[in-house]
Structure 1
């Protein structure tokens, strides 16, 4: 069979992002896309000339174009595709599956459809937002409280650098992940850090990120007195993910990371600290504040709420 025999679909979708995502999806399923012009550039007379087996609409409630299609179209009209989750989110797979089921019910399977791989599209490194969570004494409780408040659907990933005995490294995902939906994991060579994840920095080996953001583990220990070295990790995140990165320094002893926080701030990125009143040990966040590098201070709950608001503002600015 040829591509000409595949059922044809016409889109009338207000959102440019929605139109692009739907167009990619239907063609990935093996259907033909024959019309996807932005509605504001379409005249009513043009709709009568479009030959398609199905119209897929996602329009405002009041639209003369949509009204005409619903009343006069000789082919099925599918209203709405549901809210489209970001490509990196696990719900994107479910959205694809629901859409394919609806199309198949109305049109049948595309006769020459390639195997459909319903998997999330990895987010490019340039669009990944990655923050470091640095902590020492009292850190696990503070970081868990922070993650319990921040929704796991937030468009951000974390690298968690906790000064702790190496014997507890494998237990940190379980400790932090109870009662929240974050995907918390230890490092695996070659894996990709995606939004909704918390990557636990290894204690005994250095962590780097490749050109595509892939995890690279090295056998040599971290430089300096701290394992893992927040100082080194902050520079690594800035090298790989800037300008979409930041840091939050939670409860702890020592001054690990202070100088790197300064370098981050000079590049215009955010550095936040846990407040002294809420920290089991305020020495580490206080060192960052004293150096003048903290751009926000608060309890874990307050920092989580602030980050959610900051991410929303960033998303609006990029739209």
Structure 2
């Protein structure tokens, strides 16, 4: 039974098993599901319903985004539902998803209790899953929260070999860059800021970017744990309502590699670190993309460790390249990626900030970094954005 004031959701999912699970989970929690359809059945008239939130899990996000419009409230990167046969895992998935929806909407439906238990309707879903599984084999695709599983290239005991590469032109050691707050090279930025994010990260990063004017002399490097096949939708979602330009792997020059830069960091731009291809940096903002390897089916050497891309590794490489011009902000996420590299950033006098636990969808990642004692400022995404502008302004005045 739905209350008249229950938030209304519109589900668009291409996998039939996921559609059933999403509708079941949201109705269990007391949300009003207006429609639950495949993306090829979405029509313009559906957009006139103005749901409280769109839940998208589709293969071609751009087509759906074009139809629903840039201002529509939406949630992407939904973790694939486990089978209801695994009752505890399924109940946990329902609880996690409902918490994220509630946090997004700012209010809970009247029927939602504090503890969500597996409803009897799950048996119906289980039967439907059995019937549908004969026609469609479910795929495990995780957009946010990719850290919930190890990299498919490693196990917890494996060591990943990273090929050595020659020293790059213009690449100075971190100690050579200490104190260079106002770089005099060809760059148009004063600081490089890593945005480290995982589960719940896209929402937090977007709130942050919406509050930072592109005129601030900073360039961002976004390290978001994500399935490589789902990266393409991030720039469009994160750049809504702001003027930040996104550079992706598709922006790399064909001539680039470990000897020639594939891209240069620019003020007013956000570099989205590829999930399936390693990169390195030069002191003047060069971005060096690792070359292809002769190994099938893997096209590029994976990032070291369990996380793809690796926040730890990006922080270490950026610290070596940019020294005290490096800033790192750790946003919402599960796991501890980034906590092992805080010493590398502090050693070159870089700064580390973190999102407050109360404003995170999942506070594990910033909490692990905070536990190091190296975080000098905490705030909501909006407060972090204001503090960034104030910090850079004060540093510029002190230099002058």
Q: Establish whether TM, by shorter chain, passes 0.5.
A: yes
Match for residue 172 of structure 1 among 230, 234, 237: 234
Distance 2:367 2:284 in 1: 35
1:191 aligns to 2:242 (yes or no)? no
- Distance across 2 between alignment mates of 1:157 and 1:211: 13
1:58 counterpart residue number: none
Give the drift of 1:178. Answer: 0.5
Match of 2:335 in 1: 254
* CA separation of 1:126 and 1:199: change in aligned 2, threshold 3 A: closer
Please list every run of 5 or more consecutive structure 2 residues that lacks an aligned counterpart in the other structure. 1-183, 254-261, 291-299
Matches within 5 A, 1:194-209: 194-209=266-281
Q: Counterpart in 2 of 1:271?
A: 352
Residue by residue over 1:260-284, the C-alpha shift from the partner in whole angstroms, topping out at 9 and shown as x without a partner, is 1122123322100000010000000
Task: Work out which of the residue numbers 140, 150, 153 in structure 1 matches 2:215.
Answer: 153
Give the number of equivalent residue pairs.
198
Residue 132 of structure 1: aligned partner: 194
CA contact (8 A) 1:125 1:241 kept: no
Q: Contact 1:126/1:241 (CA < 8 Å) preserved in 2?
A: no
- 2:367 aligns with 286
Give the secondary structure class of the aligned counterpart of 1:132.
strand
Identify the residue that residue 217 of structure 1 maps to in structure 2.
289
TM-score, normalised on structure 1? 0.59
Structure 2 vs 1, CA of residues 250 and 211 (structure 1 numbering), >3 Å: closer, same or farther? closer
Q: Deviations over 1:290-312 (max 9, x none)?
A: 12121101100000000000010
Distance in 2 separating the partners of 1:200 and 1:230: 12
Q: Distance in 1 between matches of 2:188 and 2:347?
A: 20
Alpha-carbon distance in structure 2 between the residues aligned to 1:127 and 1:155 = 4
Q: Which residue of 2 aligns with 1:302?
A: 383
The alpha carbon displacement at 1:123 in A equals 5.3
1:180 Cα deviation (Å)? Answer: 0.2
Secondary structure at the counterpart of residue 345 of structure 2: helix
Cα separation, 1, equivalents of 2:201 and 2:302: 22
- Aligned residues of 2:334 and 2:363 also touching (Cα < 8 A): yes
Cα deviation for residue 185 of structure 1 reads 2.0
State TM-score, norm by structure 2: 0.48
Counterpart secondary structure, 1:242: helix
* Structure 2: distance between partners of 1:267 and 1:214: 19
Report the secondary structure of 2:199's partner residue: coil
Instruction: Tell me by how many angstroms 1:318 deviates.
Output: 2.1
Is the 1:176–1:184 Cα contact (8 Å) retained in structure 2? no
Q: Secondary structure at the match of 1:159?
A: strand
Structure showing greater Rg: 1
Describe the SS at the equivalent of 1:221.
coil
User: CA, structure 1 residues 148+157, in 2 after alignment: closer, same or farther (shift >3 Å)?
Assistant: same
Q: Does 1:245 align with 2:326?
A: yes
Cα distance in 2 between the residues matched to 1:127 and 1:146: 18
Distance 2:387 2:283 in 1: 30
Q: Which residue of 2 aligns with 1:144?
A: 206
Query: Which deviations, in whole Å up to 9, do the C-alpha atoms of 1:229-271 show, x marking residues without a partner?
Result: 0001001111111121110000001111112112212332210
Segments of structure 1 that go 5 or more residues without pairing to the other structure are: 1-121
Query: What residue in structure 2 maps to residue 314 of structure 1?
Result: 395
Structure 1 match to 2:152: none
